[in-house]
Amino acid sequence: MIDFQTHPDRYRHWRLRFDDRVAYLDMDVDPVGGLSQDYELKLNSYDLSVDIELADAVQRLRFEHPEVGAVVIGSLKDRVFCSGANIKMLASASHPLKVNFCKFTNETRVSIEDATNNSGQRYLTAINGTATGGGYELSLATDHIMLVDDGSARVALPEVPLLGVLPGTGGLTRLIDKRFVRRDRADVFCTVEEGMKGKRALSWNLVDELVPSSSFESTVSERAAEMAALSDRPVDAKGVLLADLDRSFHDDGVDYSSLKVEIDRSSRIATIIISGPETPAPRDAAAAAEAGAGFWPLRLARELDDAFLHLRNNELEIGTFLLRSTGALDAVLEHDRFLHAHSSDWFIREVLHLWKRVLKRVDLTSRTIIALVEPHGCFAGFLAELVLAADRSYMFQGVLEGEETSAALMFTQSSTSTLTMSQDLTRIETRFWGNDAGRKRALEAIDVPLTAEQALEAGLVTDIFDDIDWDDELRIILEERSSFSPDALTGMEANLRFPGPETMESKIFGRLTAWQNWVFQRPNASGETGALRRYGTGLRPDFDTRRV
């Protein structure tokens, strides 16, 4: 099983140190520390285990170190920054593992940019030697790239000429959308196996700064200190430690403190049941920080994120996720209002942006997602975003026999502001893209507790069923879904989830990732005579030269 939980005390590939307001995150990959013993992670090459630690470090820096305003990503290997994804790993990995590896790596890179854009924690790359493939793509996710000027240090994206695949973790997109490298120059750069050094790399805007070896370390420190000085992060605030998650795995699911996952393997369905808060919202932001990792919105976000990553990577046969909730609607609303009332506080800001990233993880998960809004449920505030993130949503109409409680659904400011999708639209804007009247009607329902009939009228759920039809209708819907081709569903869902304009981020996940997934399956890359298989054997790949 692939576990996405770790801690700096258990890192095998990264070293984290601090100097005043600057954090130094140095890559020092353990060659035998990968997920498999079938390959060695030489020259700071990486597999998923390396990125799991990087993602953990990025998250901890935001929550545990409010004093840090700048982060330097460097290397402890002599004259080697990072040689990218391990090629033997890519050659031997199953297609799902390759796809999930690239997706998680992309999500981690985007989280670095999110820290820069929204948390006042800017990232700088100090390239001390060779940065190729995914190593250079990692640097592209940072705000400033410094390259040592020693006559041999270089940057390269050699995937096309060397491996028959693409720079699939954002390289192509960030070159032209973020660094504004001219298209023709980007074309040349991506087809030159050895990459580019020094002055040419600088003049083509592949790096931001060229620094002599003799002053490289001191200049990096100076630049990082300058960046940190511009941060709005509180120097004297106490960080919030991200304690290990409270969870237990069993054959048919996972139990967390605020949700549980139940897996029905015969129907290939995972039901994720979210529990609302059991305590009131804190009195102020300081009390929330004092609660630390136990603060319910933070605890739930981390657990939901872990659950989706676990299901994505370890439960490949499970094709449908049902989202359910249980708890008091008013208690969720109280926490939701608390978050927005204190959003100027550094810690609360981080919790809100974590929810944004977790919801994006939901958006980008290639499984059918269906939300069920039922009596005794608590889809309200930021939790109501899960209803909008689902491919379909169904709401219970009326009351259960012998009860008086009906299903309710309530959207708030969370659906109109911070929690945007990859294309920078809210989920309401996305849902009603091109339908101004529908969007207006939905916005009029903000802060209104909606009955099933009202939610359907506002276009905020797919359909409603009463107690007579509820079980049968859901059974038919789920049986039909399980009869379809998983590949066709993945393509359909991904294309339907992101209408509207593209951003750099949506291009990376929607366009670049889709093409890379296709290329990975082609024999020119992964076949017995393909480039990935023949890399390192001394044999040239045997390409099928037909364009498809």
In a domain, 69, yes or no: yes
In a domain, 534, yes or no: no
Whether 199 and 276 share a structural domain:
no
* CATH number (domain holding residue 286): 3.90.226.10
pLDDT tens digit string along 41-79? 999 999 999 999 999 999 999 999 999 999 999 999 999
In a domain, 546, yes or no: no
Whole-model pTM: value is 0.96
The pLDDT score that the predictor gives to residue 404 is: 84
Neighbouring residues of 37: CB distance < 8 A, sequence distance ≥ 6: none
User: Is pLDDT above 90 for 225?
Assistant: yes
CA distances from 200 to 106, 232, 286, 433 (A): 27, 35, 50, 44
Of 480, 496, 512, the last residue of a domain is 496
In a domain, 510, yes or no: no
pLDDT tens digit string along 389-419? 999 999 999 998 888 889 999 999 999 988 9
First to last CA, the chain: 37
In a domain, 168, yes or no: yes
Report how many domains make up the chain.
2
Q: Residue written as tokens 């990233």?
A: 357
Q: How confident is the model at residue 240 (pLDDT cuts 50, 70, 90)?
A: very high
Whether 276 and 187 share a structural domain:
no
pLDDT tens digit string along 421-448? 999 999 999 999 999 999 999 999 999 9
Q: How far apart are CA 30 and CA 47, in angstroms?
A: 11
User: Is pLDDT above 90 for 304?
Assistant: yes
Of 452, 480, 496, the last residue of a domain is 496
Which domain range does residue 435 map to? 251-496
Distance of CA 320 to the CA centre of its chain: 20
Whether 492 and 455 share a structural domain:
yes
Q: Which two tokens stand for residue 474?
A: 């859901």
Whether 424 and 394 share a structural domain:
yes
In a domain, 527, yes or no: no
Whether 171 and 263 share a structural domain:
no
Q: How confident is the model at residue 548 (pLDDT cuts 50, 70, 90)?
A: confident
User: Is pLDDT above 90 for 152?
Assistant: yes
Of 476, 496, 516, the last residue of a domain is 496
Whether 225 and 288 share a structural domain:
no
Whether 154 and 257 share a structural domain:
no
Whether 176 and 275 share a structural domain:
no
Q: Residue 75: what are its φ and ψ, rounded to 5°? A: -140, 145
Whether 267 and 343 share a structural domain:
yes
The pLDDT score that the predictor gives to residue 400 is: 86
In a domain, 506, yes or no: no
In a domain, 366, yes or no: yes
Whether 210 and 301 share a structural domain:
no
Whether 168 and 304 share a structural domain:
no
Q: How far apart are CA 315 and CA 321, in angstroms?
A: 11
541 in Cβ contact with 531 (< 8 Å)? yes
Q: Which residues pair with 145 in a beta bridge?
A: 125
Whether 255 and 158 share a structural domain:
no
